[in-house]
Amino acid sequence: MALSYRDPIGLRDHEEENLDPKNPARSFGELLFLLRSRQRLSLRSLGERAGVTASLISEFENARRPPPAKPAVTRLAQALDLSPRDSQRLAELASRERSGMGLRVARSTPRHVADLLRDIACIGQQLSPAHVRSIRQSLEVAMK
C-alpha cells in the first residue's frame, strides 16, 4: 500500500540510493520515518513486511519507545530493502540510542519509574534544557 501524503520537505526529490550524508537523521525514529517515506510504505505495509505491528513502528518513529534490538532492526532494514550503507546507519543509530539507556537504576526503584528513566535517557538528545530541568524537578518531587 503506497503512502498518500503531501511532500512538504521534498522527500520525493531525493530518490538516490543512499540518504544525503549532508543531512543525516538525528535519531533512529527519524531515520526510520525518512526511509519508510522514501519507499512510500504505510506503517501497516512495513509492519507486515517486518513482522511487527504498525503501532510499534509508529512508536519507534515518534520516539515513544526505545529502538529495538539488532534482530528487529535487521528485519526492518530488510523489509525496507535498504542499501548496506543505509542499513548500517539505521543499526548504528539504534545501537547508539540503546547504549544511552545503560543508566543504572537501583533495584528498589519501582519498575514503572525505571522504565520512564530509560525512556527519557533514550530521547534525551531531543529534549531542550528547559524540558530536562522540568522533568528533573518533577522526579525529585515525586521521589521524596
User: What tens digit of pLDDT does each residue of 30-49 get?
Assistant: 999 999 999 999 999 999 99
The residue range of the domain holding 30 is 11-99
Question: 0.85 exceeded by the pTM?
Answer: no
| 56 and 115 within one domain | no
Asked if residue 3 belongs to a domain, the reply is no
Asked if residue 105 belongs to a domain, the reply is no
Query: Could you tell me if 139 and 122 are in contact, meaning their C-beta atoms sit under 8 angstroms apart?
Result: no
- Structure confidence by residue, pLDDT tens digits, 85-141: 999 999 999 988 877 655 666 778 887 877 777 677 766 666 778 887 888 888 788
Strand partners, 2: 41
Asked if residue 4 belongs to a domain, the reply is no
| Total domains, the chain | 2
| 116 and 92 within one domain | no
